[in-house]
Amino acid sequence: MNTIIGKYEKGLSQLAHASNQVAILQVELQDLIPKVVAKQKETAVMMINIEKSKKSVQEKTKEVEAEELVAKSKLETANAIKTDCDEALKKVMPIYHAAMRAVTELDKNDITEIKGFKSPPPGALLVIKTLCLMFAVPGEKVKGQTGKDAQLDYWEPAKKKLLTPELLKKCQNYEKDTIAPSLIEVLKPLIDDPNYQDEVLSKVSKAAWGLAKWVRAIVQYDEAMKVVKPKQQQLKEANEQSAAAQALWDGALERLRAVEAEMKKLMDEFEATKAEEDRLKNQKDDCEKKFKRAGSLIEKLAGEKINWQNSLAIQRVARENLVGDILVCCGCIAYLGVFIQAYRQDCIKTWINMIRDFNIKSNNEISLNAILGDQVKIRQWLIDKLPQDQFSIDNAIILENSDRWPLMIDPQLQANIWIKNKEAKFNIKVVKPTMDPKIMSRTLEIAVGMGSPIIFEDAGESFDPMLEPLLGKQIEKKGSAMYIRIGDTPVEYSSEFRFYVTTKLSRPHYSPEVCVKVTMLNFMVTLDGLEDQMLSIVVKHEEPAKYEKRNQCIVQKAENEKTVMELQDKILNQIANSSDNILEDDELVLTLDESKEQCKRIEQSLKEMESTMK
């Protein structure tokens, strides 16, 4: 009861929340729409600036690409010249290295040796002369051998200024790349002299031979460098041009980076503004969606709201009266099944007054249908040929809620027909007092074990002792299984087993022992039930097509009413079990729409059926 009331309260709370949200959402929408429009204009202006910036970036990119082509071309030219210089130097440097080796093979003792010559040979004099010329040691004028012409003597100045221990170091550090061309021209004839050759000097002195090799190598190096130096000059100029082109390229790159940085700044600002626009737009869309959803819910569930309010009020009253109502209904089930409707109503009124004397609350009027009736089940019972009068429906409710097996006084076979139709899908078996006891026993044993329903027809005022344990539900538990005796045979008892007893006697007299074992039900025909049956017979005879259509309508109506109740419960459960904010649940709203539309179609179909069934 509390669960049902809670569902109604939650459902009504959700509808109230939706109603309150309509005004709030409307104000929020009025605030959001101008903000969204302003942001859209702002992003449009920013897009124009971005397009301009893009054009500037494209122009700068073209400039950079042009400068890059020039710089790469200059660099390729410089690299080609450098490769050529390197190739030439590869040929020149071995000559210079040979000169260095000639010097490093000498030591100061070799210099002392050549310095000690008192009368140096011609080859040694030539070597000393070339050394003096290279190191700018001037010769001294002396008279010639004939005494007429003055000659330059390089030997004595060399001994004083050149032939020292530092000579070898001077040779190693000699500025080979700054030799005057005039000096080379003077040296060439001297190193070509026959006395200057290796085979001659090697016999004169090791120092003369080594120093001559050094001088010759230096002259050869200078000659080779005449080819290399122009290339080095070209390389220098090419490197300068390449550096200048690289500087232009770097400058263009810097300008491009500046423009790109400005472009990135604009894009970041645009993205931030666009994100804010999207956020506001999404917020506006969500607000509009909730606004429409709230309006739709309020409109579509307006009828449900009234029903829920009424049902909530009824359920709250019912909760207050629950104990008294159930107490009276239990009395009806236990004691009033055998009595006619008028007597039942008198007893109920008496019991209501009685329990109120004990301060137990209850409704002023109590009926089994209102308190215990399941309208879906009742509609199915009517389809299964239960008479439509309230007396018969109350009998069915007593049968459904009683723990004892029913014994139905049924002269007109109304209960018999209903039970057989109700249990037909479970393959109900029929037994009678006139059956062979062995066959009856076997039928009962199979039904009890399999959980199949049994109807005992045409019962008299007494019962075979074999049925006593079954009538009294004398079930025994052995281990985890349940057993009951059929005669002398214990049979495993299925909880699905159902046992119905009917009698055609209109005024039977049963012993108290039988009455306390079963639930007595009076299924004798009432005036309303008789009218309904007679109408069905007349219609079936006079208009069989309309009779069949009416029966089909009854079945269809029952199914539709069942579906409507399920859909209404579904709508209530979905709203009651939804999240705190029903307007945020897309799936729930969609399901509610579908359920409500389906409910409307069925209700319209029910109205059309009512006219057919009249």
Among the residues of 301-374, which ranges form H helices? Answer: 302-320, 322-335, 341-357, 368-372
pLDDT single digits (tens) 210-263: 888 888 888 888 878 777 778 777 777 788 878 887 887 888 788 778 877 877
Q: Tell me which residue of 379, 308, 370 sits closest to 562, measured CA to CA.
A: 379
Measured distance CA(484)–CA(463) in Å, rounded:
17
CA–CA separation, 578 and 587 (whole Å): 10
Question: Is pLDDT at 612 greater than 60 in this prediction?
Answer: no
pLDDT, tens digit, for every residue of 109-140? 777 777 777 778 888 888 888 888 888 888 88
> Which residues lie across from 481 on neighbouring strands?
478
Kindly state the average pLDDT of the residues 328-357.
93
The residue type found at 261 is A
pLDDT confidence of residue 255: 79
How many C-beta atoms surround the C-beta of residue 507 within 10 A?
7
Per residue in 477-488, pLDDT tens?
Answer: 888 899 999 888
pLDDT tens sequence across 553-593: 766 766 766 676 666 677 767 666 666 566 666 666 666 66
* Tokens, residue 443: 């039928």
If we measure between CA atoms, which residue out of 219, 224, 150 comes closest to residue 186? Answer: 219
- 8 Å CB contact between 297 and 592: yes
pLDDT digits (tens, 9 = 90+) for 428-447: 999 999 999 999 999 999 99
Say if residues 510 and 460 touch (Cβ distance below 8 Å): no
* pLDDT band (50, 70, 90) for residue 209: confident
The kind and range of the H/E element at 492 are strand 489-492
Instruction: Report the length, in residues, of the chain.
Output: 614
Q: How confident is the model at residue 92 (pLDDT cuts 50, 70, 90)?
A: low
**Is the CA virtual torsion 251, 255, 261, 264 positive or negative?**
negative
- Tell me which of 151-155, 272-276, 602-606 is least confident: 602-606
Domains of the chain plus CATH, in order, are 18-92+243-285 (no CATH), 99-237 (1.20.920.60), 399-525 (3.40.50.300)
- Say how far apart CA 482 and CA 80 lie, in whole Å: 108
| Single-letter amino acid, residue 356 | R
**pLDDT of 524 strictly over 80:** yes
In whole angstroms, what is the distance from residue 166 CA to residue 173 CA?
Answer: 11
pLDDT in tens, 211-222: 888 888 888 888
CB atoms near residue 19 (< 10 Å)? 14
pLDDT at 327: 93
Paired tokens of 55: 């054009």
Distance separating the N- and C-terminal Cα atoms of the chain: 36
Label residues 354-364 b or e (16+ Cβ within 10 Å = b).
Answer: ebeeeeeebbe
Partners of 409 in beta bridges: 503, 522
pLDDT digits (tens, 9 = 90+) for 460-480: 999 988 899 999 999 998 888
Helix (H) or strand (E) holding 76: helix 2-104
Q: What pLDDT, on a 0 to 100 scale, did the predictor assign at position 331?
A: 93
Average pLDDT, the chain: 82
Strand partners, 522: 409
Q: Label residues 412-448 b or e (16+ Cβ within 10 Å = b).
A: bebbbbbbbbbbeeeebbebeeeeeeeebbebbbebb
Half-sphere exposure of 354 (CA within 13 A, CB side): 10
Block residue for tokens 């702002």:
42
Strand partners, 456: 431, 501
Over the Cα atoms of the chain, what is R_g? 63
